[in-house]
A and B are shown apart, each in its own frame.
Chain A
Amino acid sequence: MSLLTLIVLLGFLAAAVAPALTSLLGRRVKFVLVLYPAGTFVALWLMVPQIENGNVIVESFSWVPALGVSLSFLLDGISALVGMIVSGIGALIIIYAGGYLRGHAQISRMYALLLFFMASMLGVVFSANLIGLFVFWELTSISSYLLIGFNHERLSSRAGALQALLVTGLGGLAMLAGFILMGMVGGSYEITELISRADVLRAHEFYPAMLLLVLLGAFTKSAQVPFHFWLPNAMEAPTPVSAYLHSATMVKAGVFLLARMMSILGGTDWWHYAVSFAGASTMFLGAFVAFYQSDLKRVLAFTTVSALGTLTLLLGLGTEEAVRAAMLFFLVHALYKGALFMVTGSIDHETGTRLLDRIGGLRRAMPITAVTAIVASLSMAGLPPMLGFLSKELLYEAKVQAPFASFLLISLGVLSNALMVGVAALVAFRPFFGKMKDTPKHPHEAPWSMWLGPATLTLISLVFGLLTAPLLGGLWNAAVISVHPEASPVALKLWHGLNEIVALSAFTVLLGLLLFWMRDRILAVIRPPAFLRALKAEQIYHLMIAGTLSFAKRVTAVFQDGLLRHYVMFVTLVVVMFGFWSLLAAGPIDLAEMSGGLHVHDVIIALVMLGGALMAAYSNSRLVVIGSLGIVGYGISMIFLLYGAPDLAMTQFAVETLSVVLFVLILARLPRIKDIVSNVVRVRDGVIAGLAGILLTVLLVIATAEPLSSRVSPFYSAASYLEAKGRNVVNVILVDFRGVDTLGEITVLAIAAVGVFALLRQGSKEGKP
C-alpha cells in the first residue's frame, strides 16, 4: 500500500483545485478543503499501532534511478508525530483562515498556498531519501515566501518574505551540498541505508564538512542564532500563516532534520558542541528579547525562537532523557503556540491592534478567547495540569543529567524558562485584565471559526496533560525510539513526587512571576534595544545584501555597458583567452596529421564564404553587411549538405533566412556604421575575430585528428529504429533519446522570446529603441 505517497500527492492536488473550488462553493469551501488535513490526520492516527514498537513502513518509487534518487517515503515514530501535528493543526488553520480572511478577495490564494505548504511539509516529514527531502524542503521555503508576502502590496511584507526566502534558501543550498557529501561517502541517498553506514560517515575526513553544511540548513530553517532574525520579520504574514508555518510546523523542520540526522551524524563531539551551543544561545536570546517586545505577535515570535533553541539544545545533548523531552516539547510547543498565535490573530482581528499598550480588559468582550489564552499560557508557563508541565519536567531532568556543562545549562534553562513564564503571564493577563482601553475597533467575541482552533488545541493540551499515558504514550515512545533507537519505553506521568526537579520548577515560576511584576521597572532601567542594536545579526544580512548588489552593479557597469557589440566582444574575448590558454597548457600539437583531399567545390564554397566575411568586415553599409553575413551562413549550410547532414543544412538555411529578415526589420533604426566604428575599433575587432577563427580552426583540426569514438554513433543508429521507431537518427535523438534536453531548450527559447518582447516594449515606453 502506498498511503504516504498518496497523502503527499493528494495535498498538491488539493492545492491545485482549491481556487476553482473556492469560486464554486464560496464560504463553505473550507468544509471541503478541511477534509484533506483531517483525513490525513485520521489515517496517521490509525497507522500509529503499526509503528508503536519501532517498526518502520517504507514506500519507494524509482525517480531518477541513474542518480540514485528515488521518491521514497517512510513512516516511523517521529514522522507520525510531526505528520499528525502538521495535518491536525492544518485542519484547524484552514477553518481559522476562513474566518480570519472572510470576504478577502484573495482568500482562494490563501487556501491554495496553505494546502501547498501542507503537502510540502508532509513530504519533508515522510521523505526517506535525502534528495526527495531537499526538494520538499525547498518547496516549504517557497510556500513560506509566498505566504509571508501574502499582502504583497505592503513593502514590509515583501521585504520580510524575501529575507525569509534568502536566509532559508541559503541554508537549503548548504544542506544540499551536505547531503551530496553524505551520499558520496555513504553510497546512497536513502536514509535507512545511511543509518546502517553511520560509522563510515562519522569516521570519514569529510565528516565535519557534511555536518556543518547540514546544520546550516537546519539552523537557518529553525531560526537559530545568528539566523534567527528572519522569523520575527516573517510576522508580516497574516496570522493564520504565522500560527501554522512560523510557530507550529515549518520552523520545526530544522529541528526535525536534526532528529532525523541524529542516528547518522549524531553522537560525536562536533555534533554535541555545535548543536548544543547554537541551541542554548538561541534559547536564552529568544526568551530575553521576547520579554521587552511590545507587539504581541513579535513577543510570540521571539518565544518561538527560544523554544526552537530549547529543542535544538536537547537534540544536541542527544541523551535518552533529552530526546524524550524533545519529542514531548515538540508537540507541547505546537499546541500552545499555535493556540496563542490564533488568539493573537483574533484579538488583532476584533480590536484592530495587537500592541500590548493599547489593549486591556478584553475578558468581558471576548470571554472564550480569554479563557483559551489563559489556559494555553498555563501550558506555556509549564504549570500543572497542562501537558506543558510534563514537558518542562522532562526538560529539567534532561538538563540535570546532561553529559557536560550541566550547571551552566540548568542556570540558562531556568533563566529562559522564567522569562517564558513572565511572557506567558504577559500574554494571559495584559490583553484581558485591567482597564478597557480605547481600541481602533469596538471589540467583541471572534466568530466560531476563529475560536474553534485555539480552543481545540488548548483542550488537547489539557486532556493530554491529565491522561498522558493512555492517549499519547505509544506515539511518544515510538517517536523517541525512532530518534534514539537504544531508548527504552517509559510511562509518562504528570506527578513524579517531590524532588529537585519540582523544586526547580517552582523556583522558575516564582522568578517568572517576579519578572512579570517588575517588567515595567526592568524595562525602564536596562532599555535593551539600545545596547542590542549594536550586535544585531540582521545588520550582517543587510550588509551582505547591499554588498552583493553594489558589487553586481560595478561588474555590470564594466562588462555590460548596454552596447550589444561590446557584449559580443567580451564573450568572444573570454572564449579566445581561455581557449588558447588550455591549448597551450595541453602542450605541443601535431598539425601535420591533417589529411584528406579537398574537392573543387569545397574550395569554391570556402572562397565565397571568405569573400562574404571580408565584405562584412569592410563595408560601411548595413545592408551589404547583412547580405554578406547571409552568404557566409548559406555557405555553411552548403557544407553541411555536402557532408551528409541534411537536417543541419535545412535548419541553417531557415535560420539564416530568418536572421536576414530580422536584421532588415530593424535596419532603419540602427546608427550608421561610420558614426560608431572608427578604424582603430575596426582593427581591434578584426584581431579578436581573427583569433577566434584561428582558435576554432585549430580545435577542429585537433578534433578530427583524433579517431572518432565509434561507440556512440552505431549505438544510436541501431537503437533509433528498434527502440524509438524512427530512422532519422538526428530527430530521434532530439525528440526521444535526449527529449528532456529539448524540452529544456524550447522552454528557454520561450522565455527568451518573452524577454525580447518585454525589452522592446520597455524601450518603446521610454521613447527609445
Chain B
Amino acid sequence: MKSVILSTVVRLLLPLILLFSLFILLRGHNEPGGGFIGGLAAASGWVLYLFAFGSAEAKRALRLEPLHFIILGLTLALGSGLFSVAAGKSFMQGVWLDAMVPVLGKIGTPVVFDVGVYFVVIGIVLKIVFALAEEEGR
C-alpha cells in the first residue's frame, strides 16, 4: 500500500507537525495546549509517517526507541518535582526563573514537567502503534 502521494506529502508534513506540536506544548501555559495535546499531535505525525513508509523505516527515522521516550519523559517529570525539593520548596512546588527567555517565555519547573508529559505521551502512543503495526506485518 505504498503511495507516492502520501509519502511525498508526509515527508513535508512531518517536520511541520512536529514543529506545531512543540508550539502547542509551549503555549500551553497561557493558551489552550500543553504537553498532553502536544504529545498526541507529535505522535500523530509519526503515525502518519509509519503509514507512509512502514514501521521499520519509521523506527529508523525516529532514532530512539519509544520506550526511551517514556523513560526520558518520566525522568524529566520526576526530576522537575525533585528539583523543587532541592531548591528548598516542597515536592513539585513551582520554581521559576525571573528572567524571560526569548521564544520560550517564562521558564520554570512546571514547564519542564509539561515537557516530560509530552515525551511520555509520544512514547506511549508510538510504543503501542509500533507494536500493533509489527503484529500486522507478521
A142 within 8 A of B: no
In angstroms, Cα B117 to Cα A299, docked, is 55
Is there contact, CB below 8 Å, between B37 and A650?
A: yes
In angstroms, Cα B44 to Cα A657, docked, is 8
Is there contact, CB below 8 Å, between A760 and B131?
A: yes
- For B34, give its contact among A669, A734, A740, A760 (CB under 8 Å): A734
Q: Which residue of the partner chain B has the closest CB to A664?
A: B51
Is there contact, CB below 8 Å, between A725 and B47?
A: no
Shortest distance from the beta carbon of A10 to any chain B beta carbon, whole Å: 17
B58 within 8 A of A: no
B30: chain A residues at CB < 8 Å are: 726-728
B136: chain A residues at CB < 8 Å are: 665-666, 668-669
Is there contact, CB below 8 Å, between A661 and B123?
A: no
A735 touching B114 in the complex, CB below 8 Å, given contacts A757-B128, A764-B135: yes
Q: Which residue of the partner chain B has the closest CB to A65?
A: B90
Is there contact, CB below 8 Å, between B41 and A654?
A: yes
B132: chain A residues at CB < 8 Å are: 662, 665-666, 760
Interface size on A, residues (CB 8 A): 45
B127: chain A residues at CB < 8 Å are: 753-754, 756-757
Which of B29, B125, B127, B138 is most buried by chain A, counting CB atoms within 10 A of its CB?
B29
Is there contact, CB below 8 Å, between A651 and B110?
A: no
Is there contact, CB below 8 Å, between B135 and A769?
A: yes
Is there contact, CB below 8 Å, between B29 and A732?
A: yes
In angstroms, Cα B136 to Cα A665, docked, is 7
In angstroms, Cα B111 to Cα A666, docked, is 36
B47: chain A residues at CB < 8 Å are: 658, 661
Interface size class on chain B is 35 or more
Is there contact, CB below 8 Å, between A736 and B123?
A: no
Which of A655, A742, A761 is most buried by chain B, counting CB atoms within 10 A of its CB?
A742
B31: chain A residues at CB < 8 Å are: 727-728
A528: chain B residues at CB < 8 Å are: none
Shortest distance from the beta carbon of B67 to any chain A beta carbon, whole Å: 7
Shortest distance from the beta carbon of B47 to any chain A beta carbon, whole Å: 5
What mask results when residues 93 to 135 of chain B are scored 1 for a CB within 8 Å of chain A, else 0? 0101000000000101011011011001101110111011101
Is there contact, CB below 8 Å, between A725 and B128?
A: no
Is there contact, CB below 8 Å, between A746 and B77?
A: yes
In angstroms, Cα B35 to Cα A736, docked, is 13
What mask results when residues 728 to 760 of chain A are scored 1 for a CB within 8 Å of chain B, else 0? 101110111001101100110110111011001
Is there contact, CB below 8 Å, between A726 and B110?
A: yes
Is there contact, CB below 8 Å, between B129 and A662?
A: yes
B52 within 8 A of A: no
A724 within 8 A of B: yes
A500 within 8 A of B: no
B51: chain A residues at CB < 8 Å are: 661
Q: Which residue of the partner chain B has the closest CB to A723?
A: B94
In angstroms, Cα B31 to Cα A769, docked, is 43
B37: chain A residues at CB < 8 Å are: 647, 650-651, 654
A750 touching B133 in the complex, CB below 8 Å, given contacts A647-B32, A724-B110, A735-B35: no
Q: Which residue of the partner chain B has the closest CB to A728?
A: B30
In angstroms, Cα B127 to Cα A756, docked, is 9
A757: chain B residues at CB < 8 Å are: 127-128, 131
B81: chain A residues at CB < 8 Å are: 739-740, 743
In angstroms, Cα B78 to Cα A728, docked, is 22
Q: Which residue of the partner chain A has the closest CB to B135?
A: A760
Shortest distance from the beta carbon of A484 to any chain B beta carbon, whole Å: 38
- A656-677, CB < 8 A from B: 657-658, 661-662, 665-666, 668-669
Shortest distance from the beta carbon of A763 to any chain B beta carbon, whole Å: 8
In angstroms, Cα B129 to Cα A757, docked, is 10
A646 within 8 A of B: yes
Is there contact, CB below 8 Å, between A725 and B94?
A: yes
B33 within 8 A of A: yes
- B25-71, CB < 8 A from A: 28-37, 40-41, 43-44, 47, 51, 66-67, 70
- For A734, give its contact among B36, B74, B78, B94 (CB under 8 Å): B36
Shortest distance from the beta carbon of B46 to any chain A beta carbon, whole Å: 11
In angstroms, Cα B137 to Cα A692, docked, is 37
A750 touching B138 in the complex, CB below 8 Å, given contacts A726-B110, A757-B128: no
- For B73, give its contact among A665, A732, A746, A761 (CB under 8 Å): A746
- Interchain Cβ contacts under 8 Å between A and B, 30 examples: A650-B37, A651-B36, A651-B37, A654-B40, A658-B43, A658-B125, A665-B129, A724-B94, A725-B96, A726-B110, A728-B31, A731-B29, A731-B114, A735-B35, A735-B117, A739-B92, A739-B110, A739-B113, A740-B92, A743-B78, A743-B92, A746-B77, A746-B121, A747-B74, A749-B121, A750-B73, A754-B127, A756-B127, A757-B128, A764-B135
Give me the interface of B with A, judged by CB distance under 8 Å.
Answer: 24, 28-37, 40-41, 43-44, 47, 51, 66-67, 70, 73-74, 77-78, 81, 90-92, 94, 96, 106, 108, 110-111, 113-114, 116-117, 120-121, 123-125, 127-129, 131-133, 135-136, 138
Cβ-closest 4 pairs across A and B: A654-B40, A646-B32, A726-B29, A753-B124
**Can you add 6 more A-B contacts, CB < 8 Å, to A650-B32, A665-B136, A739-B92?**
A662-B129, A669-B136, A724-B94, A727-B30, A753-B66, A760-B132
